[in-house]
Amino acid sequence: MGKWDLPRLVARVQTKLERVWNKGLTVGGTIWFLLVAFCFLVVAISPAMRGVGASWTTKAGWAQALAITWPALAAAAFLKFSETIRRKKGLNKLQRKRRRDRQILTAKAVHELGQFLRGEKVGDDVVFAIRKKILEAVVLSVAELLEMPTGDHLDANLLDFSTGDLHNMRVTCRSNPSRDLGIQYPVDNLVAWAAIRDRRISVVEDVDRDQRWEQIKHRPYRTIAAVPVTADGRAYGGLSLDSEIAYAFFGRSADIALQIEPYAAVLALTYAKDATYSDCRYDARTTHG
């Protein structure tokens, strides 16, 4: 065996600890865990201390109490952490499925988009199918990013200026086929337009409480996030995400913008050069990176 490289070993241990900390170990969580552990020890050991007449101030007293209560402590710890591990395994399995489905959808969409870019004759139904696959991939990608459980619902929508003017936008594609298409909205009522106007991701954490969006209260969704769909300084539309859970995107707007940037760029390629657009210089990497 060679000599131990102590600095490298210390750096490796430090990296491991930082990863554990970044995965969810917080000061508040640590204090809560220690407080719960202390209360549990007191509740479990106190009867044992009284039962054997041991003293709280001696090591022998603690040893006697722990000798009696350790099976209960071990069982409680097993039940607690085994449930956590099962949940984590289930979530990891769900994340792998979402990743696989997203990759398949994206690959199919890009393959079909190749025909469009090569100038081959492609009908509106094919373009719609490409966009729908991309939106479905967006939903899976963001759900994976946020580690959303199966029951949390998320929809992606594409709105554009196929109305022929810049004062109204039309919903041209959705990831959720049960929601209506072709609906037109004045741009002032749209979070997607706010994203185009401000040249950055626009997020409404709770439409029922945000007074700026009184006109979209009492919808099936509570949270909305939108980014511009741009190419060469032209915004052909907006990609919006909505969730029925308020504050579903809280604190993650920049992460979401960067996550869906490639999909928004691909969506922009599905528009003809003569499509109606609004001037918009947007780059998620420089704006949110």
Write the CATH number for 282.
3.30.450.40
Asked whether residue 84 is assigned to any structural domain, the reply reads no
Closest CA to 226 of 183, 269, 171, 144: 171
Strands 168-174 and 184-186: antiparallel
For the whole model, what pTM was predicted?
A: 0.63
Distances (CA, A) of 100 to 92, 95, 107, 114: 12, 9, 11, 21
| 161 burial type by CB count under 10 A (0-12 exposed, 13-18 middle, 19+ buried) | buried
18 occurs within a structural domain: no
pLDDT score recorded for residue 162: 93
Is 161 within the bounds of a domain?
A: yes
Least Cα distance to 237 among 131, 140, 138 occurs for 131
Q: Please, are residues 152 and 246 in contact by the beta-carbon 8 Å criterion?
A: no
CA 255 from centre of chain:
8
Assigned domain for 217 exists: yes
Q: What is the pLDDT of residue 139?
A: 92
pLDDT of residue 2: 44
Q: Are 239 and 156 in contact (CB under 8 A)?
A: yes
Residue among 189, 252, 263, 273 at smallest CA distance from 228: 263
What pLDDT does residue 115 have?
A: 56
Domain membership flag for residue 31:
no
How far apart, in whole angstroms, are the C-alpha atoms of residue 40 and residue 75? 13
Please answer whether residues 238 and 200 qualify as being in contact, where contact means their C-beta atoms are separated by less than 8 angstroms: no
Domain count, the chain: 1
Each residue's pLDDT, cut to its tens digit, for the chain (289 residues) gives 444 456 556 655 665 565 555 555 566 667 777 777 777 667 767 777 777 777 777 887 778 777 777 776 677 666 666 656 565 555 566 666 666 666 666 666 665 666 556 565 667 888 898 899 899 989 988 988 888 877 778 999 999 999 999 999 999 999 999 999 999 999 988 999 999 999 999 998 888 787 777 666 667 788 899 999 998 899 999 999 999 888 888 888 888 998 888 889 889 988 988 899 999 988 877 776 5
Cα–Cα separations (whole angstroms), residue 220 to 1, 147, 155, 223 = 64, 22, 11, 10
Let me know how many helices (H) and strands (E) the chain has, helices first: 7, 7
Query: What does 103-167 look like in DSSP terms, one character per residue?
Result: HHHHHHHHHHHHHHHTT----HHHHHHHHHHHHHHHHHHHHHHHT--TTS-EEEEEEESTTSSSS
- Tell me if 150 is assigned to some domain: yes
Q: Which domain holds residue 252?
A: 102-288
